Structure 1
Amino acid sequence: MSDSQEPDAHASALRELSRIHGRHPRWSMLAIAAGVLQTAVTIALAALLAHVLHGTIIANESFEALRSFWLLMLPCFAVRALAGWAREEAGMRMSLAVRHSVRQSLLDTLHRLGPAWMVRQQAGSLSTLLMEQVEALDGYFARYRPQQWMATLTPLMILAVVAPLSWVAMLILLVTAPLIPVFMILVGWGARQRQTEQLQVLQRMGGHFLDLIRGLPTLQLFNAHHRMAGEVAQVADAFRQRTMSVLRLAFLSGAVLEFFGSVAIALTAVYFGLSLLGMLNFGLYGQVLDLRLALFVLLLAPEFYLPLRELGTHYHARAEALAAAGELMPVFKAGSPQPEGGTLQLPATPPALQLEDVTFAHREGEPVLANCSLQVAPGEVVAIQGPSGGGKTTLLRLLLGQLRAGTGRVMIGGNPIDTLDLAPWRERVAWMGQHPRLMADTLAANLRVAHADATDADLTQALTFAGLESWFATLPEGLATRLGEGGRPMSGGQLRRLALARVRLRRADVLLLDEPTASLDPDTEAAIVARIAELAQGKTTVLLTHRPAPLRLADRVYHLSHGALMPAASGLPTPDQESPT
């Protein structure tokens, strides 16, 4: 997309985002009604104050004669403050509702896109998208959009009051009013571009930091963490400088708008000043100008420009929202790599798995699987070997329904996978990947990702089955012990056993195991292989491995090479056939 097209694309994205998620009429109407009431009370206050000052300065009226006007100001001040509070509260509630809707829709979209799509993205950029980019919509929906209405309604209400009193004053207001939005737009163009760049840098920085945190143990092993800390400081300082440049532009726009607002008010004051001195005698419909009329219009002049200046002040919020919408909408519109699925339910028995001449490519012209065929009978254990990056994990994702085959068919229980109700199908599958994830949460929460309704007794039995009973006995808070960041760390072997406990809790009839013993010492590997042998009994199992020990569990062994599956000559590979994990 070219630079000239980008602002239009961002504006279109923001309009679509507002159309889908920004319709909250209750809060919108409340914000507008409160703003109109605030303007009406302001006009009344200006009239009261002009009358009191004229009576005190010109007519020499006593305080007692003006008491009722003084007293009327008190409820006006109270109502004006209450209306201002209601307007702000309605704007914040509307913004909260919009952000909640966008964030929920974004989570639903990520669920629709699936793990195979997300694993190809930077995890840090996705978390930045969910947090920072959604929060960037706050100022637009809380303040800018309600202010758009007030920037139209308030000047019209004031013009309706001023027009019968002085057509010259009305003309000055009409002529000078467009200056503020014009300069607001001129300054806003630069702000929009800066804000877009800022959010893109923030997204990249989030992904960079998360990658560094994940690789911190490796950096420490190579004694490179001090050097990387310096790089992090440089990136953070560059981001600080970018942030200050954006803020500088926002403050500049505010100063420009204040200047033109002051010039416009000064023109009105000069006209009435010269009229009071008798140097001008037109624009009053033949009426005699007095201090009361002049003060009334002069008091309303700042209020006439105030909504326009506030709209200009909040214009950077629109620029920020435009940048955020430009990042969010491509995710909403991204095509899912998963099959759409149907409504078919499988019988409650271990199903057969089958690939029929399947071809799949992550990038066009670079097939990972080419005319690949595989048959796994119900309850059979099939092992697949092959070089790293050869497509083994892709094959498992096709069977799980996380990827859609380019050509050919994926059959589950004799049925095409796109006819199945995929959610129940995935509930019947246990996945054990080569990089088990540890959440920064309790041990119980880390186990219940496999089975949400598991009891504490089920969790304890699963830990015992996985060989973690002695480790579990040392935990001071038992299942409530926090793991991961901010909690108790786990070694690689313990994390593999935790993944094994999750597989046990799953109670699935299909096992998809991706390098379950990679990087383990022989003793730990032997223990995990023995437990997998128990779990695989009677279950349809596809096992990916480079190691010889898990191959002993297989009924058949295949070798995946150049996108095609071929039966292995021997169940156990020779040393020169093995690839490093």
Structure 2
Amino acid sequence: MKQTVNPPLNPSLNNSPDAKTLLRAASNSARRENNGLTLIGIIQTLCTIIFAAVIALLINDAVYLQQDAWRQLHWWGLLAAVLCIKALLPLVQAQLADSASIKARNALRSAAMEHCQQHHIKLFPDFTAAELSSLISTEIDSTRDYFAEFMPQQRLAMLAPVLILLACCSISWLVPLILALTAPMVPLFMMIVGHKAADASQRNLIQLNRLGNLLADRIKGLNALQLARTTDQEQQKLYEQSEAYRHSTMQVLRLAFLSGTLLEFFSAISVALVAVYLGLLFLGKYHIGSWSGEVTLGDGIFLLMLAPEFYLPLRRLGPLYHARADAMSVAEHLLRLFSKKDSQSQRTPQLQPHLQTRSDAHAVLPKQIDSITLQNLQTGRNAVNIGQPLNLTLRTGQSLLLKGPSGAGKSTLLDTLAGFIPATAGETLINGQPTTLLNNAQWQGRIGYMAQQPELLFDSIRNNLCLGRDFSDAQLLAALTRVQADILVRALPGQLDYQISDSGGYLSGGQAQRIALARVFLHQPDLLLLDEPTANLDDETADLFLTSLRQFTQLGGIVIMASHRTRDQTLFQQTITLHSSEGALYEK
């Protein structure tokens, strides 16, 4: 069976040291669009300066110099051209901004999806399905305003004031000085309010995740709640959590409005200072601030028109600062996901140094797996050993039964052999060659694994069996027959196209388990790892299933199964009993 190896994660995203670096790296995926947005912003600022200069010239000639320059059509043609350019540029700007935002969000989403695919959901005990779904969809989509509006406006807020200061310096040195001294007040208060908004946004995301987790959990157990007649109480809990989320959302909005109010206040004061200076200058109270010692009416109009334009980029940036706070919160959430490279596997260099130095640890697996050998293999979770080291060898056509009470380590051993968690010590040899199983895509493509709870999709039985591969109806029914589920499926409306929910909803526990078992047989693995596959089956169906396992081993397969049923022991060539009390291991 060919196994497609996933491309490596984008290291600039996956290994970002902080949220700011992560967002910057995502933004770099749309560098061409960002450069275009910066160029458009510069052109818009130049158009504003030209528009102000022409208006000031015409008013000065008409009112102060009593000339007829305003009657000349080329000036009006220039104004019309500038206005048309200023009207068309936002359309191009909006398209580029959307394109940049889509690319950046796709980069974040791809990194998150690839990370989950490579490290598996089971390696994230701190991340529930609802939280991951919210992060990959809703939360990453909420960064749209950050990449589409905040990032371009941030660059423009640095470039546009510089261009306006240079234009003002051509007439006066005092007005640019006033603008330069008052400008830091705007970002200063914006940062103060922004930190509060970031904290509020982080709390808002926490409330959203809590609401999502609560809702997903209650929907999953809706039948049990209805039987227990506690739906009213749970409905009240959902209402209270939704109210907490509403209050946290309103707090974020209040801080956003406060930020905008502060920006408008300080920019209005700064523009007023320029207006007062020009007014007293024209009244003859003083004659300072200009290079030539004289400021004409046109010069004053030009300076007064550019003063509010100097603060406009900063004022536009203010309302978008909450978008930055939201994006930083999402980035922190993504960093927490990226840091979950399996806390156990992060300790692997200390626990398994010999495996880290072997050049053949991830060597290509042989076409035929003839044997699997465990040499002093110690299993455990979170660096805590479970049981004693294992030493055994299984060859093609052999089967092994794991027995023992709950908590003895049967599921942990199966998860270790499946490559979901690392062994804390020892080696695994495939055909006599040491092989690292953890996150080994080749290995996981050669095995069949079924946990205690069947993992099914909210989809048709056909798609649950195929999992993206192509199989004929005859192959599907043959696999169902091996687990005594063909009669069940033929009796359902739509048969193979019958829709089921995740965890086998609309089917009984035994029926869902048989569908999951049929999927295991369908993909023809070399090794079967089964965790209590007969737990929800009646004795007759369980015996028929075990007969199918025997046929599987007779065809050259290897089976390792955990079970509590005493009657299963006779069908296996080897039996190992794990004891949780002393951690002892007994082999018969």
TM-score range, shorter chain: 0.7 to 0.9
Cα deviation, 1:73-111, whole Å, max 9, x if unaligned, reads 222122113323333333332222122112211222223
Instruction: Give, in angstroms, the shift of residue 220 of structure 1.
Output: 2.3
Structure 2 gaps, min length 5: 1-14, 349-355
- Look up the match of 1:504: 521
Q: Within 5 A, what are the aligned runs for 1:425-574?
A: 425-449=443-467, 452-474=469-491, 477-484=494-501, 489-537=506-554, 538-562=556-580, 563-567=583-587
Q: Distance in 2 between matches of 1:85 and 1:513?
A: 59
CA distance in structure 2 between the aligned counterparts of 1:291 and 1:500, rounded to whole angstroms: 87
Structure 1 range deviating more: 410-419 or 258-267: 410-419
Q: CA offset at residue 264 of structure 1?
A: 0.8
1:299-355 deviation digits (Å, cap 9, x = unpaired): 111110011122222222222222222222233233444587844334443432332
Note the C-alpha offset of 1:382: 1.1
Q: Look up the SS of the partner of 1:358 in the other structure.
A: strand
Separation of aligned partners in 1, 2:255 and 2:316: 16
Relative to structure 1, the CA distance from residue 161 to residue 535 in structure 2 (aligned partners, 3 Å threshold; closer, same or farther) is: same
Partner SS for 1:322: helix
Q: Aligned pair 1:344/2:363, yes or no?
A: yes
* Partner residue, 1:106: 112
Q: Does 1:223 align with 2:229?
A: yes
Judge which range, 251-260 or 423-432, deviates more.
423-432
SS of the residue 2:412 aligns to: helix
Alpha-carbon distance in structure 2 between the residues aligned to 1:37 and 1:382: 74
Q: What fraction of aligned residue pairs are identical, expressed as a percent?
A: 33
Q: 1:379 to 1:176 in 2, by over 3 A?
A: same
C-alpha separation in 1, matches of 2:452 and 2:504: 23
- What is the SS of the residue equivalent to 2:426? strand
Compute the displacement of 1:208 (Å). Answer: 3.0
Q: Confirm whether residue 284 of structure 1 aligns to residue 290 of structure 2.
A: yes
**Alpha-carbon distance change, 138 to 489 in structure 1, aligned in 2, over 3 angstroms:** same
Asked if 1:17 is matched to 2:22, the reply is: yes
Q: Does 1:270 align with 2:276?
A: yes
Distance in 1 between the 2:336 and 2:33 partners? Answer: 28
3-state DSSP of counterpart to 1:313: coil
Deviation at 1:37, TM superposition (A): 0.7
Paired residues of 1:116 and 1:397 also in contact (CA < 8 A): no
Do the aligned partners of residues 273 and 482 (structure 1) sit closer, same or farther apart at CA in structure 2, a change above 3 Å counting? Answer: farther
Shift of 1:120: 6.0
Please state how far the C-alpha of 1:30 moved relative to its aligned partner: 0.7
Tell me if the contact between 2:23 and 2:331 (Cα under 8 Å) persists in the aligned partners.
no
Is the alpha carbon distance of 1:403 and 1:64 closer, same or farther for their aligned partners in structure 2, counting shifts above 3 Å? closer
Cα 1:485–1:342, aligned 2, differ >3 Å: closer, same or farther? closer
Q: Deviations over 1:155-186 (max 9, x none)?
A: 11011111121222212211111110111111
Return the offset for 1:407. 1.3
Separation of aligned partners in 2, 1:190 and 1:317: 13
Query: Aligned pair count?
Result: 557
Q: Distance in 2 between matches of 1:226 and 1:527?
A: 44
Q: Structure 1's 64 and 318: CA in aligned 2 closer, same or farther, altered over 3 A?
A: closer
Moved more, 527-536 or 33-42: 527-536
Greater mean deviation of Cα atoms: 338-347 or 294-303 = 338-347
Q: Is 1:359 the counterpart of 2:378 in the alignment? A: yes
Q: Corresponding residue for 1:324?
A: 330
Partner of 1:414: 432
Kindly indicate whether the alpha-carbon contact (under 8 Å) linking 1:198 and 1:242 is maintained by their aligned counterparts in 2: yes
One-letter amino acid matched to 1:217: N
Q: Please, which moves more after superposition, 35-44 or 307-316?
A: 307-316
Q: Secondary structure at the match of 2:154?
A: helix
Show CA shifts across 1:426-476 (max 9, x none): 222111222112212233321112x72323442243334443434434555
Map of 2:401 onto structure 1:
383
RMSD: 2.9
Residues 259-282 of structure 1, C-alpha deviations (whole Å, 9 max, x = no match): 111111111112222223333432
Residues 9-44 of structure 1: CA deviation (Å, up to 9, x unaligned): x99512331454332321221111111011111111
Aligned to 1:42: 48
What CA distance in whole angstroms lies between the structure 2 residues aligned with 1:115 and 1:240?
Answer: 30
**CA distance 1:64–1:46, change in 2 (3 Å):** closer
Secondary structure of 2:453's counterpart equals coil
**Could you tell me whether the CA contact under 8 Å between 1:376 and 1:540 is conserved in 2?**
yes
Range 297-306 or range 551-560, more displaced: 551-560
**Distance of 1:59 and 1:484 partners within structure 2:** 82
- Aligned counterparts of 2:503 and 2:542: Cα–Cα separation in 1: 29
Relative to structure 1, is the Cα distance of residues 243 and 221 closer, same or farther in structure 2, using a 3 angstrom cutoff? same
Post-superposition shift, 1:70? 2.5
Contact (CA 8 Å) 1:398, 1:410: kept in 2 or not? no
Whether the 8 Å CA contact 1:116–1:402 is kept in 2: the answer is yes
Q: TM-score, normalised by structure 1?
A: 0.88
Letter in 2 for 1:429: I
Query: Are the counterparts in 2 of residues 345 and 421 from structure 1 also a CA contact under 8 Å?
Result: no
Deviates most, 20-29 or 37-46: 20-29
Greater Cα shift, 123-132 or 11-20? 11-20
Q: CA deviation at 1:115?
A: 4.4
Q: Give distance in 1, aligned partners of 2:218 and 2:410.
A: 27
Give 3-state SS (helix, strand or coil) of 1:105's partner: helix
Q: Secondary structure at the match of 1:22?
A: helix
In structure 1, the residue matched to 2:241 is 235
Is the Cα contact below 8 Å between 1:359 and 1:407 reproduced in 2?
yes
The CA distance in 2 between the partners of 1:118 and 1:110, in whole Å, is 9
Q: Per the alignment, do residues 12 and 428 of structure 1 end up closer, same or farther by CA in structure 2, a change over 3 Å counting?
A: closer
Contact 2:459–2:501, Cα closer than 8 Å, also in 1: yes
CA contact (8 A) 2:419 2:438 kept: no
What SS does structure 1 have at the residue aligned with 2:436? helix
CA distance change for structure 1 residues 185 and 77 in 2, over 3 Å: closer, same or farther? same
Does the CA-based 8 Å contact 1:371-1:564 persist in structure 2?
no
C-alpha contact (below 8 Å) 1:30/1:86 kept by paired residues? no
The answer to whether the 8 Å contact 2:504/2:512 transfers is no
1:166 and 2:183 matched: no
Deviations 1:206-254 (A, max 9, x none): 3333222222222223222221121111111111101101110111111
Q: Distance in 2 between matches of 1:223 and 1:421?
A: 43
**Residue type of the partner of 1:353?**
I
Q: Bigger shift: 416-425 or 243-252?
A: 416-425
Matches of 2:270 and 2:162, distance apart in 1: 17
TM-score by length of 2: 0.87
CA contact (8 A) 1:373 1:564 kept: no
